[in-house]
């Protein structure tokens, strides 16, 4: 997968650990689209156990059944 790239805005471009798609992560500046994704606690625990970094919003919604 591609390397993480930090933009001047503080947004980080990184690959999703699930699908590999490059996406913009704003967690470092407290402005990330994933903050509005409501995951059931059991799914959040599974993600923490299985992935070492962020997933894109599409994958988060897919896993939460929101799509």
Give tens-digit pLDDT for 20-46. 999 999 888 888 888 888 888 999 899
With tokens 């407290």, the residue in question is: 30
Of the candidates 39, 38, 30, the residue with the CA atom closest to the CA atom of residue 12: 30
| 48-62 pLDDT, tens digit each | 999 999 999 999 999
Give the pLDDT band of residue 19 (cuts 50, 70, 90). Answer: very high
pLDDT of residue 2: 52
């Amino acid at each position: 997968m591609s390397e993480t790239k930090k933009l001047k805005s503080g947004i980080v471009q990184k690959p999703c650990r699930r699908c590999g798609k490059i996406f913009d992560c704003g967690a470092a500046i407290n402005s990330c689209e994933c903050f509005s994704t409501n995951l059931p606690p059991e799914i959040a625990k599974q993600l923490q156990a299985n992935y070492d970094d962020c997933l894109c919003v599409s994958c988060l919604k897919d896993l939460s059944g929101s799509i």
